[in-house]
Structure 1
Amino acid sequence: MTKAKARHILVETEAECLALKQQINDFETFDQLAREYSLCPSGRVGGDLGIFGPGKMVPEFDQIVFNETIGEVHGPIPTQFGYHLIWITDRK
């Protein structure tokens, strides 16, 4: 079964998500912005969601994590929780 490792930042609006995406240029910046702005409890650890398989996240999230390019920041991704920036760090 495929597993992925990802980080994310969750915010309320698409505009806020786009503004944060403009600021991200490396892992360190993503980590800092997640700690400062993410509404998800994972923000306390730089948005780190750990390792997970398909079906553990909402479908919109899974679609990105298991199909898009590793090492890039994807988003804004709308879900019922808000808007996400997703950084896929590994997939096996």
Structure 2
Amino acid sequence: MEFRASHILVKDKALAERLLKQIKGGARLEELAKDFSTCPSKSKGGDLGWFGPGKMVKEFEAACAKLSPGRISPVVRTQFGYHIIKLTGRR
């Protein structure tokens, strides 16, 4: 199974929680990613494209597996920092 996802990556958990609250309040993850994410994907609104098993760290992949397309994850901690993930596709 492959996933397509967009995300925001930040170093600070409190900032991640604030951004997630803004998204739940109607802000677009893609716009917040451009302003706040530390990942190079920020220039594409956080879009990571399609990826298969083993391409992302296990915590990130596990979060994607639990989401249905269009849904937003809770804050996910990995070795890179704190992610907010939006699953945009599954095939």
Deviation at 1:8, TM superposition (A): 0.3
Distance 2:18 2:80 in 1: 18
Deviation at 1:68, TM superposition (A): 2.4
**Structural mapping, 1:49-68, within 5 Å:** 49-68=48-67
User: What is the percent sequence identity of the aligned residues?
Assistant: 44
Distance 2:42 2:73 in 1: 17
Structure with the bigger percentage of strand: 1
SS in 2 for 1:31: helix
Gaps of 5+ in 1: none
Instruction: Verify the 8 A CA contact 1:66 1:91 in the aligned structure 2.
Output: no
Deviation sequence 1:52-91 (CA, Å, 0-9, x none): 1111000000001123232111021000110000000111
Instruction: Verify the 8 A CA contact 1:54 1:66 in the aligned structure 2.
Output: no
Whether 1:19 aligns to 2:18 is yes
Distance 1:67 1:90 in 2: 12
| TM-score, length basis structure 2 | 0.91
Gaps of 5+ in 2: none
SS in 2 for 1:73: coil
Q: Which residue of 1 aligns with 2:3?
A: 4
Distance 2:67 2:48 in 1: 17
RMSD: 1.1
Distance 1:75 1:43 in 2: 19
| TM-score, length basis structure 1 | 0.90
Deviation at 1:14, TM superposition (A): 1.2
Residues matched between the structures, number: 89
